Amino acid sequence: MAKKVLGLSFGRKNKNCDIMVKTALMECEKAGCEVKFFRVDDMDIKPCTGCISCVIGMTSGRGKGGCVLKDDFAILDEALMECDGLIVGCPTYETSITGKFKIVCDRIGPSHDITFRKATYEEGLAAGKSPEQLPDVRSFKKRVAAFIAVGGAMTENWLEFMLPLMYEMTFSMGIDVIDMQKYWGAMAFEHVLGNDKQMARTRKLGQNIAEALAAETEEQRMLWRGDEQGLCPVCHLNMVNILPDRKTIECPVCGSYGKLTLDADGNIQLHYTEEEQLRSRLRWAGKLEHSTEIKTQAVGPGQIPDLKERMKPYIGYAE
Ligand SMILES: Cc1cc2nc3c(=O)[nH]c(=O)nc-3n(C[C@H](O)[C@H](O)[C@H](O)COP(=O)(O)O)c2cc1C
């Protein structure tokens, strides 16, 4: 059966992101994939209200991880469930992702977390429920993704938070990112269609997705196909936090801890143990650690018996 690739653009109609995502999709189609494209700003997708009924539904065993909001997210969700590969293009706004991009990440968020969904699914089956009453079984499909970040600025660091934050789209579903393209200086060109170098890189990105989807082994499928290995061996980005103990570092994308050393030439070296790499929130173990913390430590109503009383001075205050 043909692999399905979903392209999402968060850019302006027929501008850089739209055309780059479609270019990559065309390569996938040439390789035999079925493709679908959405320009997400055309869709009515409301922000998450934070009601967490998706998670409560799953942890209580009564829900499937669905959302109470009724809008076009259902259309996007069905396409996400169907796809094997995802290609996402986003413009840079204020060094970062657009507001709509963040809204979609939040709507995918905890409701699609594969560790929550898997536990609900397996416990439900064991309790004799039918698959229709349980989280969508397509949630557990292995998927790959590639990111295209576009910035008008001439300096690369004006796109600084793009790729780290684009990962938010893949966290909860455990989608493996296998390639990324960072296109800065877009405003020096009327359109990306006049930038042969970037167009060639976008075609390569599409070919990389098609190649990953055709892989016979899991190792081949997940293989990193980006231009640079990056400092973090899991997310392949270069961001790093230095913790207050001044001994420990943390990859902000993965959440893994590591150590920093200087080699004989004075070059900075980062070290993340195998165990810490597995703890990355891009991997099953890291996600499970998080969902288990929530399941075992989050408290429900009733912990503060006089909460209503304590709340009184705040109701309507300065509104
Ligand atoms: C509100 C706003 C903020 C922007 N901030 C940045 C920025 O911080 N860095 C940058 O490189 N480009 C910035 N840009 C430029 C866009 O990233 C650029 O126009 C991009 O090509 C838009 O993608 P599109 O052509 O696919 O619509 C900004 C544009 C807007 C509208």
Domains and CATH numbers, the chain: 4-227 (3.40.50.360), 231-296 (no CATH)
Mean pLDDT of 253-272: 96
CA of 42 to the centre of ligand 1 (A): 18
Q: Is 90 exceeded by the pLDDT of residue 267?
A: yes
User: Which alpha helices (H) appear in the chain, and where do they start and end?
Assistant: 16-30, 53-60, 73-82, 99-108, 114-126, 162-166, 196-214, 218-222, 274-278, 284-297, 307-311
The answer, yes or no, to whether residue 203 has pLDDT greater than 90, is: yes
Check residue 67 and give its pLDDT.
94
pTM: 0.96
Q: Which pLDDT belongs to residue 187? A: 98
| DSSP-derived 3-state class of residue 150 | strand
Residue closest by Cα to atom 4 of ligand 1 = 93
**Contact (CB, 8 A) for 9 and 17:** yes
What is the structure's pLDDT at 61?
A: 85
Residues in the chain: 319
- Mean pLDDT (the chain) is 97
Query: What is the C-alpha to C-alpha distance for residues 297 and 293, in angstroms, rounded to an integer?
Result: 6
Q: How far is the CA of 92 from the centre of ligand 1 (A)?
A: 5
Cα–Cα distance measured from residue 6 to residue 36, given in angstroms and rounded to the nearest whole number: 5
- 3-state DSSP helix/strand/coil % of the chain, to nearest 5: 45, 15, 40
**pLDDT beyond 90 at 105:** yes
The pLDDT assigned to 282 comes to 97
Q: What percent of the chain stands above pLDDT 90?
A: 97
Q: CA 149 from chain center: how many Å?
A: 13
User: What is the arithmetic mean of pLDDT over 149-155?
Assistant: 98
* Token output for 203: 């075609």
Pocket probe for ligand 1: among 90, 97, 150, the residue whose CB has the most ligand atoms within 8 Å is 150
Structure tokens at 41: 């700003």
Contact 181, 149 (CB under 8 A): yes
Query: What burial letters (b/e) apply to 235-260, b meaning 16+ CB within 10 Å?
Result: bbbebbeeeeeeeebbbbbbbbbbee
Centroid of ligand 1 to alpha carbon of 88 (angstroms): 16
Distance CA 227, CA 204 (A): 11
**146 touches 87 (CB < 8 A):** yes
CA 96 to ligand 1 center in whole angstroms = 9
Rounded to whole angstroms, the Cα distance separating 94 from 101 reads 13
Residue 259 CA to ligand 1 center (angstroms) comes to 35
What is the best residue among 92, 95, 190, 199 to mutate for testing ligand 1's pocket, by most ligand atoms within 8 Å of CB?
92
With cut-offs at 50, 70 and 90, classify the pLDDT of residue 262: very high
Q: What is the mean pLDDT of residues 185-202?
A: 98
Residue with tokens 């969700």: 77
The CA distance from 177 to 35, in Å, is 18
Closest ligand 1 atom to residue 151 Cα is 11
Residues having CB closer than 6 A to ligand 1 are 11-12, 15-17, 91-95, 150-153, 158-159, 184, 186
Cα(14) to ligand 1 centroid in Å equals 15
Stretch 162-183: mean pLDDT, rounded?
98
Could you tell me the pLDDT band of residue 253, with boundaries at 50, 70 and 90? very high
Q: Is 280 helix (H, G, I), strand (E, B) or coil?
A: coil
Average pLDDT of 53-63?
Answer: 90
The protein residue whose alpha carbon is closest to atom 3 in ligand 1 is 93
Q: Which of 156, 176, 137 is nearest to 281 (CA)?
A: 176
